Amino acid sequence: MKAEKMAFGISYVETDSALHRLNGITKFVLFMAWVTVVLTTFDLRLIVALVAVGLLLLRMTKVPVKVYRTLLIATASVLSLNALFMFLLAPQQGTEYMGTETVLVPFGFYSLTQETLFYLLTVTLKYFSMFPIALVFVFTTHPTEFSASLNRLGIPYKVAYAVSLTLRYLPEIKKDYVNIMHAQQARGVELSKKASLLSRLKNLTSILGPLIFTSLDRTEEISNAMTLRGFGRHKSRTWYSLKPLTNKDWICLSTILVCVSLAIVKHVFEEQLFWYPFN
């Protein structure tokens, strides 16, 4: 597929799955709930469950795996790298948390203990458990619906709208970038493979300037257009793309609520930070 036809990063994919039909509000709440749970637990069992559910949901979006395979690999490797660094800088972290020390591979300062291994596993998976849900959220929630939901959940509508505009201008700014690049090439700046890397880099900087400034000038024009069409005229506003909540949504929402409160209760009553079966 050619560059100019490719959507950048990941974005909304229309597959009309069950998840797509859920209301944006529900999905956002789910996302936030998920984050809360992840952040408050160090229980490997729970984390593994989260990862499993997350991946399941990801399958449910009906988005072909090839869309996110590379991402999956990238994230996995980034996280393992992260784990490695954690080990290099603090090989004893695990033992500190678990309170016991069971050396597996004796190697002086860097001797690998079972506790550290367990600790690294838990933390890494903890990070990873955020990955599928984020994808699910982006794949299934149309940007406009997203900001509408934000507003419904009590975020001031101007901030919510700022978010909406941000999403609206992401592709736009990419286009601007491309346009400026082309315009400059068409007037004698060589950016294709044929120029030396150095001169290409130099020329690239000659695009960033214009990009930033066109964007700044843009803000004037856009805000004018918005004011002219009555933005900020009233204390609130309605949203073209806001769907009403269905029974399905209510069911999901209540389930989410229950799960979160359970997780929090659990967190409060745990006497040890990490769940560690081997002592």
Site for another protein in 103-142 (CB under 8 A): 119, 123, 126-128, 130-131, 133-135, 137-138, 142
Q: Residue 97: which residues within 8 A CB-CB, separation 6 or more?
A: 115, 119, 273, 274
Q: How many residues bind another protein (CB under 8 A)?
A: 109
When binding is defined by CB under 8 A, the residue of 223, 261, 272, 279 that contacts another protein is 223
Q: Do 60 and 20 meet the contact criterion of CB atoms below 8 Å apart?
A: no
Q: Which residues contact 87 (CB under 8 A, 6 or more apart)?
A: 110, 112, 116, 120
Tokens 């869309």 found at: 67
Binding to another protein, residues 62-101 (CB under 8 A): 68, 71, 74-75, 78-79, 81-82, 84-86, 89-90, 93, 97
Contact range with another protein by CB under 8 A, out of 58-66, 99-107, 237-245, 259-267: 237-245
Write each residue from 27 to 66 as x if it is in contact with another protein (CB under 8 A), else as -, in one continuous string: --------x---x--x------------------------
Is the Cβ–Cβ distance between 34 and 50 less than 8 Å?
yes
Q: Report the residue number, 159 or 258, with the smaller CB distance to another protein.
A: 159
- Residue 240 in tokens: 């073209």
Q: For the chain, give the number of residues.
A: 279
Pick between residue 53 and residue 169 the one whose CB is nearest to another protein.
Answer: 169
* Helices vs. strands in the chain: H and E counts, helices first: 11, 2
The 3-state DSSP class for residue 68 equals: coil
Identify residues 152-211 at the interface with another protein (CB under 8 A): 156, 158-159, 161-175, 179-180, 182-194, 207, 209-211
> Shortest gap between Cβ of 176 and another protein (angstroms)?
8
Residues 213, 246, 255, 265: which binds another protein (CB under 8 A)?
Answer: 213
Report if residue 224 touches another protein, rule: CB under 8 A.
Answer: yes
Coil vs helix vs strand at 142: coil
Taking the complex as a whole, how short is the minimal distance between the CB of residue 130 and another protein, in angstroms? 3
Residue 245 is given by DSSP the state P
Distance CA 19, CA 188 (A): 49
**Minimum CB–partner distance for residue 127 and another protein (Å):** 7
Tokens of 190: 């060589």
